[in-house]
Amino acid sequence: MAKKSTTIQANTYSNNPVVISVKNLHKNFKLPTERAWGLKQAIFNRLKGVKGYKELKVLNGISFDVHQNEFIGIVGRNGSGKSTLLKTLAKIYFPESGSVEISGTLVPFIELGVGFNPDLTARENVYLNGALLGFSNKEMDAMYDEIVDFAELREFMDQKLKNFSSGMNVRLAFSIAIRAKGDILLLDEVLAVGDAAFQQKCADYFASIKGHQTVILVTHSMDSVRKYCTRAILIEKGKITLDSDPETVANAYQKLWS
């Protein structure tokens, strides 16, 4: 079988400044194979050369650039490495080798409610999340009304977060991510959040920022790739196998299942 090659199709954003540059990125995880019960067994395993774990290569030489205002979809089957790539861009994970250079403020929405404190009010959590993203109180003051209005939670902002429903938590967390004035937005499978009305509101928002903000979206939804993305990347076994226009990549992804 012929080896797949990476194909990069020119796009209207290629003359824009590069805001993310990923070079030869490698990321491994150590998976335990057996447990050493006690110090004696651990010493015995060490003398025998038994590590007690195996290394799983998740990212294997990933390289690509992201230009300002591109809306890029990252697609691939489960276990392909796409979410690990996103977490490495967000500096949740650190690579074994390679580099990630980012120009601008990056806002990740990868794990819902990370950084939320249920014993603080919703208002306090907005500012707490802003601080975690690197924004000052003054900057959050300027963003606050827009975040709250998008979440449609103004009358609840002085309630403790532990009294919120799961849907209200989703709306607040998602609104902070997409309405915070960051340069680059990282999203992991989050386009279908909240009820139908809020989902439509989110869909309208993503349609409005296409071509106007830099976004990287990890998704299994080829409808989302075709609708929102200006470019897409297919990852298989930790490697980029296709980097092209959304329609080409969506078709290639769907052929993996045929």
d(CA 135, CA 137): 7
d(CA 75, CA 233): 6
Listed residue (67, 61, 88, 90) closest to 240, CA to CA: 61
- pLDDT, tens digit (0-9, with 9 covering 90-100), for 155-190: 999 999 999 988 898 889 889 988 888 899 998 876
Residue bearing the bigger pLDDT, 70 or 187: 70
Q: Which CATH architecture has domain 18-255?
A: 3-Layer(aba) Sandwich (3.40)
Q: What is the pLDDT of residue 58?
A: 94
Mean per-residue pLDDT over the chain, rounded: 87
Q: What is the pLDDT of residue 16?
A: 94
- pLDDT, tens digit (0-9, with 9 covering 90-100), for 188-217: 876 666 678 888 888 888 899 999 999 999
Listed residue (187, 167, 168) closest to 177, CA to CA: 187
Answer yes or no: is pLDDT of 153 > 70: yes
Q: What is the pLDDT of residue 44?
A: 63
d(CA 245, CA 228): 12
Q: What is the pLDDT of residue 7?
A: 44
Answer yes or no: is pLDDT of 8 > 60: no
Domain positions in the chain are: 18-255
Check: pTM over 0.75? Answer yes or no: yes
Answer yes or no: is pLDDT of 134 > 80: yes
Answer yes or no: is pLDDT of 26 > 90: yes
Q: How confident is the model at residue 218 (pLDDT cuts 50, 70, 90)?
A: very high
Answer yes or no: is pLDDT of 38 > 70: no
Residue bearing the bigger pLDDT, 46 or 163: 163
Q: What is the pLDDT of residue 1?
A: 41
What would the mean pLDDT of 232-244 be, rounded to a whole number? 96
146-166 burial by CB neighbour count: b if 16+ within 10 A, else e? ebbebbbbeebbeeebeebee
Structure tokens at 183: 């340069």
- Of the candidate ranges 84-88, 96-100, 108-112, the one whose mean pLDDT is the lowest: 108-112
Which of the residue ranges 17-21, 43-47, 130-134 has the most confident prediction, judged by mean pLDDT? Answer: 17-21
Structure tokens at 153: 């939670």
Question: In the chain, which ranges are E strands?
Answer: 18-32, 53-67, 71-75, 97-102, 106-109, 184-188, 214-218, 231-236, 239-244
Q: What is the pLDDT of residue 186?
A: 92
